[in-house]
Amino acid sequence: MDELTVEAVDSLEPELDADTAEYVLYGGKGGVGKTTMAAATALASATDDTSTLVVSTDPAHSLSDTLEVDVPSEPTRLREDVPLYGVEIDPDRAMQETPIFGADGSPMGPVGDLLGEEGLDPMMGGQMPGADEAAAMQLLITYLDDERFERVVVDTAPTGHTLRLLELPELLDSMVGRLVNMRERLGGLMEGMKGMFDDSEPTDEDGMDDLDELADRVERLRAVLSDPARTDFRIVTVPEEMAVEESLRLRERLDTFGIPVGTVVVNRVMEPLSSVTDEVPSETFVSPNLTDCEFCKRRWEVQQDALQAAQDLFRGHAVQRVPLFAEEVAGDRMVCVVAACLE
């Protein structure tokens, strides 16, 4: 790396395209920088005086570390100078607070709690697969509907978790079928159990209604996500062939759900900041030495092949690059720099 002085970029104010969608979601494999991109987009949006909520659905949250501020499990204002809000969804807490689930993640609410693990296991198999994703999705839908926020930016979980969220309608159909089957098998026992609840407490019928309501809300969310006028799903990758190929598979899966991908962000590219943006004084950052550093040159050759593959595979999409920085991307200063690269 060239040894250049690294100085603060205090005057940098990131801007966001006025046409940026109401909902911006960043997806991709783990460790490619989705959190960084989401934080940068959210900060730029809030700097434009747009009330913005940044949401992390990744069970291994890092949003707090990136923004260098405590991001709680409920939407909270993070900055006084700009309308930036944040929340890190806690899936365990979400399961406990979502009425269609019992405290152990069983799909029978209060009835499941009453029957206990021994009563559920033979027929229901214990905790319903996907219960944590369903609960997290319920909260995400609530945040998307929150009128306090003009824009919602989502840092999604790694690819597998994100796809399970999108597969929720099919999962919920399965859950409803199993509930009906259980109710039929219990027969009169269920009728007798209803008397154990007073009018103020939910019954299994209430649980079914809640489940149907969630299914409807997830379908509505799908409709929002499939509307390119409202939603911009952005895939984040790194300049390595395997990562680019996985990103292509993600785009293909999103296509099956009718969710268009507008932008592909290639992160950690070994090139000078000046080749990506002129909004930041490039002399304030250490740049890769592609002339004298043999390691840098070889890595650059590998990245060039991956970058070309990304351009070819994602033809028709906006492909943006974010350089590899010598510094860790954390705090307002570096987040603002990344935001400048995404303009």
pLDDT bracket for residue 4 (50, 70, 90): very low
Decide: 176 and 211 in contact? Cβ < 8 Å.
Answer: yes
- Choice among 95-104, 137-146, 297-306 with the minimum mean pLDDT: 95-104
Decide: 305 and 241 in contact? Cβ < 8 Å.
Answer: yes
The pLDDT value recorded for residue 157 is 77
The pLDDT value recorded for residue 111 is 39
The highest-confidence range among 87-91, 212-216, 320-324, by mean pLDDT, is 320-324
Collapsing DSSP to helix, strand or coil, 203 comes out as: coil
pLDDT bracket for residue 182 (50, 70, 90): low
Fold observed for domain 23-341: Rossmann fold (3.40.50)
- Choice among 277-291, 292-306, 324-338 with the minimum mean pLDDT: 277-291
Q: Which sequence spans correspond to the domains of the chain?
A: 23-341
The pLDDT value recorded for residue 108 is 46
Instruction: Return all residues near 285 (Cβ < 8 A) that are at least 6 apart.
Output: 4, 6, 273, 325, 326, 337
Rounded average pLDDT over 297-311: 92
**How does pLDDT run across 77-123, given as a tens digit for each residue?**
999 999 999 999 887 776 666 555 544 445 444 434 433 444 444 44
Tokens found for residue 334: 């570096």
pLDDT bracket for residue 224 (50, 70, 90): confident
The pLDDT value recorded for residue 223 is 82
The pLDDT value recorded for residue 201 is 52
**How does pLDDT run across 46-57, given as a tens digit for each residue?**
999 999 999 998
Cβ-count burial 271-283 (b if 16+ within 10 Å, e if not): bebeebbebbeee
Q: Is the pLDDT assigned to residue 254 strictly greater than 50?
A: yes
